[in-house]
């Protein structure tokens, strides 16, 4: 089974999508298997990260923005703005797909783990994430 999740994003950064993914899993009768997530974009990515203390997410965002700055003179792909090429690089450095085991009909995430869409652009958008259960 494959289901598409639409994720509205209003700013650059990490957006928790754990709840909608859990909803997809709960709507099936799968007791054991894999949940594969795939984002259909080249300027956003997926991440499993701490979901308890928001400062961990802020630190990750700040670190990646320092690693891949906007307005670098090396960039030639600038037609869509100063955040476009850095977003592509950030996506290349992170992940566009994730695998999460399903045990006892639930995502087998650790106590402090959440699933995040990492938006690398500043603009508002709706991102599409495919969820495959099997």
Q: What is the pLDDT of residues 2-36, one digit of tens each?
A: 999 999 999 999 999 999 999 999 999 899 999 99
The CATH code of the domain that includes 117 is 2.60.120.460
Q: Nearest CA to 118 among 109, 131, 127?
A: 127
pLDDT for position 66: 98
pLDDT for position 67: 97
The whole domain housing 106 covers: 2-70+77-133
The whole-angstrom separation of Cα 81 and Cα 84 is 6
The whole-angstrom separation of Cα 83 and Cα 64 is 13
- pTM, full prediction: 0.95
Total of domains in the chain = 1
């Amino acid at each position: 089974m494959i289901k598409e999740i639409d994720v509205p994003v209003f700013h650059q950064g990490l957006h928790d999508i754990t709840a909608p993914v859990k909803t997809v899993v709960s709507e099936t009768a799968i007791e054991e298997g894999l949940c594969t997530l795939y984002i259909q974009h080249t300027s956003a990515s997926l991440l499993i990260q701490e979901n308890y203390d928001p400062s961990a997410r802020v630190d990750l965002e700040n670190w990646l923005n320092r690693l891949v700055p906007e307005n670098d003179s090396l960039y030639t792909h600038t037609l869509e703005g100063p955040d476009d090429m850095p977003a592509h690089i950030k996506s290349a450095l992170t992940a566009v797909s994730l695998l999460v085991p399903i045990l006892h009909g639930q995502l087998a995430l650790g106590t402090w783990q959440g699933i995040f869409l990492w938006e690398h652009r500043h603009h508002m958008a709706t991102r599409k994430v495919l969820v495959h259960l099997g």
